[in-house]
Amino acid sequence: MLVKALRFAIPVLAAASLMQGSALAADDFIIVQSTTSTQNSGLYDHLLPKFQEKSGIEVRVVAVGTGQAIKNAQNCDGDVLLVHAKVSEQKFVSEGYGVSRADVMYNDFVIVGPAADPASVAGGKDVTAALAKIKQTSAAFASRGDDSGTHKKELALWKAAGVDPSGDSGGWYRETGSGMGATLNTAVGMGAYAMTDRATWIAFANKGDHKIAVEGDERMFNQYGVILVNPEICDNVKADLGQQFIDWILSDDGQSAIADYTRDGQQLFFPNARMS
Amino acid sequence: MQDFGAAFAEAFALIAGLDAELMAIIGLSLRVTFSAVLIACAIGLPLGALLAVGRFPGRAALVVLVSALMGLPPVVVGLAVYLLLSSAGPLGVLQLLYTPTAMIIAQAILVTPIVAALTRQVIEDLHGEYDELLRSLGTSRLGTVATLLWDARYSLLTAALAGLGRALAEVGAVMIVGGNINHVTRVMTTAIALETSKGELALALGLGIILVCLSILINAGLMGLRRTAERMAYA
């Protein structure tokens, strides 16, 4: 019987010893709740080693949509929030979840579409006029539909264009309910227009025959902000380490590291550090 | 079709290059998967056997429940474990969210019903054959369970392998509770999801090919082990 009991005990003990591994990880790390655009474009792979070398702090990035990132940070599951939906970010701070917010960098959104350009919007600059044309021609448009920063921006632009696409959901307006990359894969697959941040688009490897159709409208400005999660609300927040990361990314070192990052010779993010 | 050719090329290049990052990701995948399956077996084997041998009120309902839980959606399990382990959740003090341990917990929850339900079937069939013999020997209930589990060990390997397959292929739960953090909680399936979202389809498919090969190797290895053991046992 003892032998048989051991047969059950051994796997359990083995499992327990396997699980030990995670406890050995360094304690000098912070969790940054962030967005898919910063991760998918490769920016963090460029920035974080520089910061770690300087500070010895490991940065663990959880890349999800801005809506989910903010939600996770409200649940105290992160030390720093780095996202791109200014209104939501300011609300996060004013409700006490965040200490303060600073601008970090910007890029812009673009509308990409198939080369055939069924809505005849290619080459245009006026984003609301383009969206209105897409609606008029019922050309397929793939929306994130996931409460992310990009999705919020897209909805605001539809509103500015005087179009309510929700009635056509399932028709020409297709909400994928997934990340930027997955939505671009879908858009390329079904020849639909889509709105994306420029960094994700430049780094995206499955462009098919899709091209940038609309760009350069100042309403497509895309600001990223950084916030320290409030240690008074979340006592597990590593305020000291998190602040070091924020200080660095806003410093001349961090800002020039952002400006240095290019893909195919194009700069993806433009630093503009400023407390707000 | 060029993607398939490119995918095989990518897979081959990754393996041939013994890419350190890839090896770490494979290592973590195996660690999480095997830990989860071991825990699931430690719970699921005795639980399944008790369901097969035991006679108690509510047994039939429990059998149905365990079978139904084989279809647990990974995303739902991930979400439930996230809410439990979140700093704002009841187990937040443990600070396990975004660690491999959290991924093991989520996968163990997914795999346990599979192991338990398949074990129940195997043991129930065997119990039909052994029942009279064991009763004539006056074996206790616990002794019966242990004897049946031991005698069915080779068939039960299939239950464990089914669980292993589920754990190795699963992405929804580990994505939520692990966070797909580079060098910390990134495993094969979440890496594939990430590369897909970057539009790196050939690389993603290449990783998928490696994952399938890994699964073939594990299954072949365990079945070979079983055959050797059987031969030694009956020689």
Q: What is the pLDDT of residue A276?
A: 65
Q: What is the pLDDT of residue B14?
A: 84
Instruction: Verify whether the Cβ–Cβ distance B197 to A40 is below 8 Å.
Output: yes
Residue B158 lies in domain: 21-188
Q: What is the pLDDT of residue B231?
A: 87
Contact at 8 Å (CB) between B207 and B192?
A: yes
B131 against A250, higher pLDDT: A250
Taken in order B88, B89, B91, B95, the sign of the CA dihedral is negative
B contact test, residue of A24, A68, A72, A201 with most B CBs within 10 A: A72
Every domain of chain A and the residues it spans: 29-106+223-275, 108-220
Q: Tell me whether residue B64 is in a domain.
A: yes
Which residues of B are less than 8 Å from A26 in CB distance? none
User: Residue A79 gets which letter from DSSP?
Assistant: S
CATH number at residue B40: 1.10.3720.10
Q: pTM of the predicted model, to two decimals?
A: 0.86
Q: What is the pLDDT of residue A23?
A: 41
Q: What is the pLDDT of residue B135?
A: 86
**Rounded-to-integer distance, Cα B10 and Cα B8, Å:** 5
Predicted confidence pLDDT, tens digits, chain A (276 residues): 444 444 444 444 454 444 444 444 457 999 999 998 899 899 999 999 999 999 999 999 999 989 999 999 999 999 999 999 999 999 999 999 999 999 999 999 999 999 999 999 999 999 999 999 999 999 999 999 998 889 999 999 999 999 999 999 999 999 999 889 999 999 999 999 999 999 999 999 999 999 999 999 999 999 999 999 999 999 999 999 999 999 999 999 999 999 999 998 999 999 999 876
Inter-chain contacts counted by CB atoms under 8 A, chains A and B: 102
Which residues of A are less than 8 Å from B194 in CB distance? 39-40
Selecting from B31, B100, B198 the residue whose C-beta is nearest the C-beta of A204 gives: B198
- Determine the distance in angstroms separating the CA of A182 from the nearest CA of chain B, rounded to an integer: 5
Which residues of B are less than 8 Å from A203 in CB distance? 198
Q: Tell me whether residue B207 is in a domain.
A: no
A249 CB burial (10 A radius; 0-12, 13-18, 19+): buried
- What percentage of chain A's residues is helix, strand, coil (to nearest 5)? 45, 25, 30
Residue indicated by tokens 């009635």: A167
- Determine the distance in angstroms separating the CA of A211 from the nearest CA of chain B, rounded to an integer: 15
B contact test, residue of A1, A12, A59, A75 with most B CBs within 10 A: A75
Q: Tell me whether residue B68 is in a domain.
A: yes
Q: What is the pLDDT of residue B131?
A: 86
Amino acid identity of A143?
A: S
Q: Tell me whether residue B15 is in a domain.
A: no
Q: What is the pLDDT of residue B134?
A: 87
Q: Tell me whether residue B217 is in a domain.
A: no
User: Residue B92 gets which letter from DSSP?
Assistant: G
Instruction: Verify whether the Cβ–Cβ distance B87 to A18 is below 8 Å.
Output: no
**Rounded-to-integer distance, Cα A122 and Cα A114, Å:** 9
Which residues of A are less than 8 Å from B97 in CB distance? 77
Which residues of B are less than 8 Å from A21 in CB distance? 31, 100
* Mean pLDDT across chain B: 92
Sort strands A193-197 and A141-143 into parallel, antiparallel or unpaired: parallel
Ramachandran class of A38: left when φ > 0, alpha when ψ lies in -120 to 50, beta otherwise: alpha
Query: Looking at the domain covering A29-106+223-275, what would its CATH class be?
Result: alpha beta
Equal fold, A29-106+223-275 vs A108-220: yes
**Rounded-to-integer distance, Cα B43 and Cα A12, Å:** 9
Q: What is the pLDDT of residue A32?
A: 97
- The B-side interface with A (CB below 8 A) comprises 31, 34-35, 38-39, 41-42, 45-46, 86-89, 92, 95, 97-101, 104, 143, 146, 150, 179-182, 184, 194, 196-201
Give the residue from chain A lying closest to B151, CA to CA: A4
Q: What is the pLDDT of residue B2?
A: 61
In chain B, how many domains are there? 1
Contact at 8 Å (CB) between B43 and B117?
A: no
Query: Looking at the domain covering A108-220, what would its CATH class be?
Result: alpha beta
Contact at 8 Å (CB) between B145 and B48?
A: no
Look up residue B164 and give its two tokens: 């292993």
